[in-house]
Chain A
Amino acid sequence: MTEPGGRISRRDLLRLAVSGGPAALAACGWDGGRLVQPRLLQISRLNDWVGEHVLFSGDRVAPTYRPDQRSGRMPSYFITRRGPPTWPDGREWALDVGGLVRKPMRLPRPMLEALPRLTYTVKHHCVEGWTAVATWTGVPVRVVADLVQPMERARYVRFDSFDSGFFNGWDWASALHPQTILAYAFNDHPITPDHGAPLRLYSTVKLGYKLTKYLTGMTFTEERPGGYWEDQGYPWFAGI
């Protein structure tokens, strides 16, 4: 117990650094403010890069489950506040596929259903932390890409919806992953409005908020498209 004065002041400083500092940060659920938040978003872009170029493999597939392993409940999220969005009666729905492609196309649902299909029972990972196993049927995005013949410049795919302007941007490799599909059936039945009817994007390699429901268009681009949640701060790549 020598030099009590000197030690106590140092100890107080330490206490401040150890407990006070982070506690002050944590106080009031601070998002980082104007100073720190842009840095956090920069690091998030760095994580996108690591996720895409280091941790992602275009041909690694997720495990599949048996239909009897399905979850009792598949939660349903959408942006519109008035219940699940529905396509207006009397207007013909079709998926517009365009952008940097040689053969832009408009694909009505019967045409999509006539293309080679994939059915799998897989686990859904929500950014919130819950999971749910369900069966999806659809046409792989890579099948549609073969039809429209993207140009070499195309590096991203943008998916648009009729749900209050919700959209997503995808990296090329994830969009053309063998388990990325345009789904029109859910648990053996035609997809219902709560799960994204008439057509939704589904995949095993991304979090749920990247799986655009209520699709209207699919656009091949050279520039990286943003996304509804991504533009508000969610990670852009969101690969799992």
Chain B
Amino acid sequence: MVRVTHWLSALLLPALIASGLQIYAAFPHFGEKGNVYPVPNPFDADQFGRFPEWARLGGWLGGGINWHFALAWPFVIIGLIYVTYLVISGEWRPLLFRPRDVPRAWQMQLYYLRLRRDHPEQGKHNALQKAAYTFIVVLGALAVLTGFAIYKPVQLAWLTALFGGFELARYWHFLTVWVFVGFTLMHVALVFLVDPASLRAMVTGWYRGRFPSHD
């Protein structure tokens, strides 16, 4: 279940981002026309120009909207299935980052920075991994919630207000894209650098790598 939801999300996410960039292209700023909000945005069209066509999905605004709103539901459902499965199976335990993981994460960071020689003790995942795998679920939830906030800013006005109004909610929604992109680059890099065998494990379910704790 973990593997299926992982790979389905990995397929959906780039398509959601690409169709989102197509929607963004219709007004590549934040705020009002003639009154752009002073939020940091390196992708404002005035400086950045437009995203290249290969990065967009849908062909035009209406096409981007239809892709985005069609794929958003499977993304939500897969996310819910993943979290529900973790809760029911108890597999959330080695994944959830808790307050007691804070000092361990620090030790792990020191190890990665070569400021500590020996690898800190860990369970199935080290504390930094737990932080990452907890954070990505929170990020997914934020992407969905900010999405709903700009999808129905009147019917779900309370949600839109929670994110600081429509214009800011749209900004947070856009920001989740770049955090997802950053996470994915790091995630893939670490898979290949630290434990390539885990990639096969994520496909087949069988781990035959060098970390006995992963069996």
A26 in contact with B15 (CB, 8 Å)? yes
Question: In the complex, which residues 139-185 of chain B have their Cβ closer than 8 Å to any Cβ of chain A?
Answer: 151-157, 166-167, 170
- The reply to whether the CB of B66 lies closer than 8 angstroms to some CB of chain A is yes
Count of chain A residues near B, Cβ 8 A: 55
Among B48-56, B91-99, B119-127, the one that faces the other chain is: B48-56
Q: In the complex, which residues of chain B have a beta carbon less than 8 angstroms from the beta carbon of A233? A: 60, 62-63, 66
A63 at the interface (CB under 8 A from B): yes
Q: Does A104 contact B (CB under 8 A)?
A: no
Cα A57 to Cα B152 in complex, Å, equals 12
Bound CA span A21–B208, Å: 28
Within 8 A of B (CB), among A54-91: 55-57, 60, 62-63, 71-73, 75
Query: Is the C-beta of A151 less than 8 angstroms from some C-beta in chain B?
Result: no
Contact of A235 among B55, B56, B65, B208 (CB under 8 A): B65
B128 shortest CB reach to chain A, Å = 23
Given contacts A10-B203, A31-B63, A44-B69, contact A127 B26 (CB under 8 A): yes
Could you tell me if B33 and A127 are in contact, using CB atoms closer than 8 angstroms?
Answer: no
B203 CB to closest chain A CB, in angstroms?
Answer: 6
Interchain CA distance A229-B60 in the complex, whole Å: 12
Are B170 and A28 in contact (CB-based, < 8 A)?
Answer: no
Tell which of B15, B29, B58, B154 touches A205, judged by Cβ atoms closer than 8 Å.
Answer: B154
Residue B27 interfacial (CB < 8 Å) = yes
Report how far A60 CA is from B152 CA in the complex, Å: 12
Residue B200 CB within 8 A of the other chain: yes
Any A CB within 8 A of the CB of B4: no
Given contacts A25-B18, A127-B61, A131-B32, contact A32 B154 (CB under 8 A): no
8 Å CB contacts to B: which residues of A1-51?
A: 2, 7, 10-11, 14, 17-19, 21-23, 25-32, 37, 39-41, 43-44, 47, 51
Q: Is B23 on the interface with A (CB-CB < 8 A)?
A: yes
Give the distance to chain B from A27, nearest Cβ to Cβ, in Å: 5
Shortest distance between the CB of A130 and any CB in chain B (Å) = 5
Contact assessment for A130 and B27 in the assembled complex, using a CB-CB cutoff below 8 Å:
yes
Are B66 and A17 touching (Cβ within 8 A)? no
- With an 8 A cutoff between CB atoms, is B57 at the interface? yes
Q: Which of B11, B70, B151 has the most CB of A within 10 A?
A: B70
Interfacial residues of chain B within 1-21, with CB under 8 A of chain A in the complex? 7, 10-11, 13-15, 18
A60 touches B155 (CB 8 A): yes
The contact string, 1 if C-beta is below 8 Å from chain B, for chain A 130-153, is 111000000000000000000000
For B70, the chain A residues whose CB sits under 8 A away are 39-40, 43-44, 47
Contact in complex: A2, B208 (CB < 8 Å): yes
B64 CB to closest chain A CB (Å) equals: 8
Collect the chain B residues with CB atoms within 8 Å of residue A32's CB: 58, 63, 66-67
- Nearest 4 pairs of A and B residues by beta carbon: A22-B14, A128-B26, A233-B62, A31-B59
Interface residues of B (CB under 8 A from A): 7, 10-11, 13-15, 18, 22-24, 26-27, 29, 31-35, 53-63, 65-67, 69-70, 73, 151-157, 166-167, 170, 196, 199-200, 203, 208
25 contacts between A and B (CB under 8 A): A7-B200, A11-B196, A21-B11, A22-B18, A25-B15, A26-B56, A29-B53, A29-B57, A31-B58, A31-B60, A40-B66, A43-B69, A55-B152, A60-B154, A72-B34, A73-B32, A73-B34, A73-B35, A127-B26, A129-B23, A129-B27, A129-B170, A131-B31, A235-B66, A240-B154
